[in-house]
Chain A
């Protein structure tokens, strides 16, 4: 049987095994101490032993990411509709948005902590900020590219500007919104983790810093594995959701 004949699931499992074997090989061949690179089985052990601790912090991070994602997608979507429906907004606000992207969002993290405190709010804001632009920009680009034939037909039919937006431009732009959302699902965890690094008392990012400080590199890797797994899961869910809305609007 050839490799290309395997099911997707089997291929993922196979490449995971290859990755783990390589990791183990590197540790053995170079005789790395566990405070530099712990072997996979040690990480797996820690993952199991510290499951309660990991879960406690993961719940916080997951909440931050999902809240940031929902808020960012909503605010980004509404901003795109606003920019696409008002010439004034496009002329005045859009350059401002583009300019705001010259500021690295990460650099804002200390400020957000200063303004919003060490709690969940500053991390949600960070996730929101990091996904706001991709969502707005992908959706806006799609909203201003409605095929002119549809717009002409709607105009002849006597539709108001708002009905054209609601019934033609927005449904026609949903694929653009979906691609923004897919990007956002990957970016949102980055935002939350950065926020936790800058200042927090809970969350996977905080746990990673703490473990690093105490040379518990195995715990740090275990937190990383949980984070990677969650990001993958989130991406899959968002992707399914996008496929669903696009099927309804094919």
Chain B
């Protein structure tokens, strides 16, 4: 992995003539985990897609890129909202999709290791259709980790998981992605409070930077600072509706 760059995005976006989000100034510090929180439909995913160069149908007025000025292509791993598993590939092949598509030899056994870490060892030969929604999302997480990129974009990566698995996967992701520049779009204030070095709340009218604790991530679910932050974030979200 190369040194992770910081990311920035300054500007506003429209879909046709309708404004999506107003002028915002998003800065993702290098090597840190940023949570982007907000209600549905305010353009959180659009910001993520702009970084991945996938924002179609949106006209963006402004600039975005990396702090080191080099192009982002080839330095990003993306986990979209949908799991996007290929139904004709088994789990191991799905997890090493990136290497397959680039005609590279994937690091040996890494796919198996990652599938074990997301708790799917016994399903390794199965196809996605045989899995539950939560299991599929864990395969998509393993595929994202497999890419080993300095910049990681996660769009509601734990939304389909049950509470226990979600906490486990948050721990795993925080461990595996330590030191990388992460943009994590989420609806869940508790998740943001556990994982964000930086927490941004995007609403219909503005982008608010909510001060986050300086403690290491993942923060324990039952710590006072996490519970307090979670409550403040929820209040913030409700206030702006």
Interface residues of chain A, those whose CB is within 8 Å of chain B, are: 147-150, 152-159, 163-164, 167-168, 171-172, 248-250
Contact = CB atoms under 8 A, between A and B. Distances in A.
B84 A150 contact: yes
Interface string B78-119: 101010101110000000011011110000000000000000
Contact of B103 (A149, A163, A249): A163
Contact of A171 (B53, B77, B88, B97): B88
Nearest to B102: A158
A157 B86 contact: no
Nearest to B99: A157
Contacts of A248: 88
B84 A159 contact: no
In terms of DSSP, what is the predominant structure of the interface of chain A?
helix
B147 A157 contact: yes
B88 A155 contact: no
Contacts of B74: 158
Give the bracket for the number of chain B residues in contact with chain A.
20 to 34
9 contacts: A149-B84, A156-B52, A156-B76, A159-B102, A163-B101, A164-B101, A167-B100, A167-B101, A250-B87
A158 B86 contact: no
Contact of A152 (B80, B98, B127): B80
State the main secondary structure of chain B at its contact with A: loop
Contact of B101 (A147, A149, A159): A159
Nearest to B81: A149
A156 B78 contact: yes
Given A152-B54, A157-B102, A167-B100, 10 more contacts: A147-B84, A149-B82, A150-B86, A153-B78, A157-B147, A158-B74, A158-B98, A159-B101, A168-B86, A172-B86
B234 interface: no
Interface string B146-157: 010000000000
B101 A154 contact: yes
B129 interface: yes
Nearest to B78: A156
A237 B46 CA distance: 48
A147 B20 CA distance: 24
A174 to B, nearest CB: 8
Contact of B84 (A153, A163, A164): A153
> Max chain B CB contacts within 10 Å: which of A149, A158, A171, A172?
A158
